[in-house]
Amino acid sequence: MKPTQSSPLIVACALALLLPSAAFAIEADEKMDRLDRNNDGRISRAEHSARAERIFNKIDKDGDGKLSLSELKDWKDQDDKVLGRDLKGGKRKNRLERDFDDGQTAAEKFKALDENGDDRVTKSEHAKMAKQKFDSMDKNNDGEISESELEKSMD
């Protein structure tokens, strides 16, 4: 069969379909490296909980043990800058429209975390969300998240 002019286009389309999968695998590897503190290839409930507490403490700039929406937005802005995310284009231009990993905006994330509606997120409210997130990723309910479970949760 003689190659046609459309052959490069077909190859490009095939590569475009494969790239997102590769990107998720790289992101999962990086996330695994950050969360798996004892390097056993799995994320334990304790490791996940400790990471959630470290993040809470990082966000809580005034150290009052409660998060405000502005603290969450400021942390998200800083996180985007550190990770080199585009803060100017598309949905990312407005802080309230910026998506978290789960697709929620900062305002939606805050509202979901703030169970009692007092415009503050306590450590216990944040920890409860972290536990729910861990449970949703631990598909086989063995108390640990494998790299494949982590990848599936990122899809």
CA 147, 142, 100: angle at the middle one, nearest 5? 50
Assess if residue 23 is contained within a domain.
Answer: yes
Assess if residue 72 is contained within a domain.
Answer: yes
The pLDDT assigned to 145 comes to 93
Contact assessment for residue 137 and residue 153, using Cβ atoms and an 8 Å cutoff: yes
Tokens of 59: 């966000």
Assess if residue 2 is contained within a domain.
Answer: no
Number of domains in the chain: 1
Assess if residue 1 is contained within a domain.
Answer: no
- Per 3-state DSSP, the chain is made up of helix, strand and coil in percentages (nearest 5) of 60, 5, 30
Contact assessment for residue 44 and residue 143, using Cβ atoms and an 8 Å cutoff: yes
Provide the residue range defining the domain that includes 21.
7-154
Neighbours of 128 (CB within 10 A): 14
**CA-to-CA distance for 62 and 101, rounded, in angstroms?**
25
CATH number at residue 148: 1.10.238.10
Question: What is the residue-level pLDDT of the chain in tens, covering all 155 positions?
Answer: 455 555 554 544 344 444 344 344 457 778 788 888 899 999 999 999 999 999 899 999 999 999 999 998 888 877 666 555 554 444 444 444 455 666 777 788 889 889 999 999 999 999 999 999 999 999 999 999 998 998 888 76
